[in-house]
Amino acid sequence: GDSVTQMEGPVTLSEEAFLTINCTYTATGYPSLFWYVQYPGEGLQLLLKATKADDKGSNKGFEATYRKETTSFHLEKGSVQVSDSAVYFCALTLTTDSWGKFQFGAGTQVVVTP
């Protein structure tokens, strides 16, 4: 079945460090890929997305490129801030799937220290 695998956390970084969160997927069709962020006690916010191979999603200094050959969608940010501390979820949806159900990864907690 379709699935998303992302690196386990927590990932602890110092402010201004480079962040990478790995995400790989398996899918029977051609998925759209997403990164969502969840701050403590809150719901999920869409961070960025890509709908086809080689697309790059970007937002708030975060980037991720849809790599079909490696079935990956790694999230990167060049210089993290304390306010980036959150849980990050990689997700996919097959637009041809019934009603666009999402498959989420387990989430990666990121802790940025001053």
Partner 1 sequence: GAVVSQHPSWVICKSGTSVKIECRSLDFQATTMFWYRQFPKQSLMLMATSNEGSKATYEQGVEKDKFLINHASLTLSTLTVTSAHPEDSSFYICSARTVLAGSTDTQYFGPGTRLTVL
What residue ranges bind partner 1 (CB under 8 A)?
32, 34, 36, 41-46, 49, 51, 89, 93, 95, 98-102, 104-107, 109
- In the block, tokens 């386990």 appear at 8
CB of 79 to partner 1, least distance (A): 27
Q: Closest CB to partner 1 among 29 and 100?
A: 100
Q: Closest CB to partner 1 among 28 and 95?
A: 95
Q: Closest CB to partner 1 among 82 and 106?
A: 106
β pairing state of 102-104 and 3-6: unpaired
Bond into 31 cis (ω within 30): no
Neighbours of 20 (CB within 10 A): 10
